[in-house]
Amino acid sequence: MDFIVEKPVIAKGNVCEKIIRSLPEWFGIEVEIIQYVKDIEKLPTFIAIKDNETIGFLTVKQHNQFAAEVYVMGVLPQFHRKGIGSGSIPILQN
């Protein structure tokens, strides 16, 4: 599948909230959704785009100069199993 991943940006909580809410089997607790959206506003987030539509995201939490983690990520359900999530990880490693 052809998609692009934008360089990491801050303040994308509202964009990512749509995706989070489309995944109730993973993000089903309202207080946690609200916290994720607040945190995404402050953390670097990679956005996956296809045909000018945001289809996924990956937010990174940097612990120090040597360690970081994927804090939260999501892909719209209709784009699951198409390599978007796994395709975003190598971009993070670079």
Question: What's the CATH code of the domain at 28?
Answer: 3.40.630.30
pLDDT of residue 5: 79
Annotate the chain with three-state secondary structure: CCCEECCCECCCHHHHHHHHHCCCCCCCCHHHHHHHHHHHHHCCEEEEEECCEEEEEEEEEECCCCCEEEEEEEECHHHCCCCHHHHHHHHHHC
Q: In the predicted model, is pLDDT for residue 83 greater than 60?
A: yes
Count of structural domains within the chain: 1
For residues 22 and 67, which has the higher predicted lDDT (pLDDT)?
A: 22
Task: Tell me the pLDDT band of 17, cut-offs 50, 70 and 90.
Answer: very high
Q: Give dist(CA 86, CA 58) in Å, integer.
A: 10
* Nearest residue to 55 (alpha-carbon basis) of 9, 91, 92, 23: 23
Residue type, 62: Q
Q: Give me the helix-helix angle, 13-21 and 30-42, nearest 10°.
A: 150
pLDDT of residue 1: 63
pLDDT of residue 82: 77
Quick one: average pLDDT of 12-40? 95
For 77, the domain range is 4-93
pLDDT of residue 47: 92
pLDDT of residue 94: 53
Quick one: average pLDDT of 27-40? 96
pLDDT of residue 92: 56
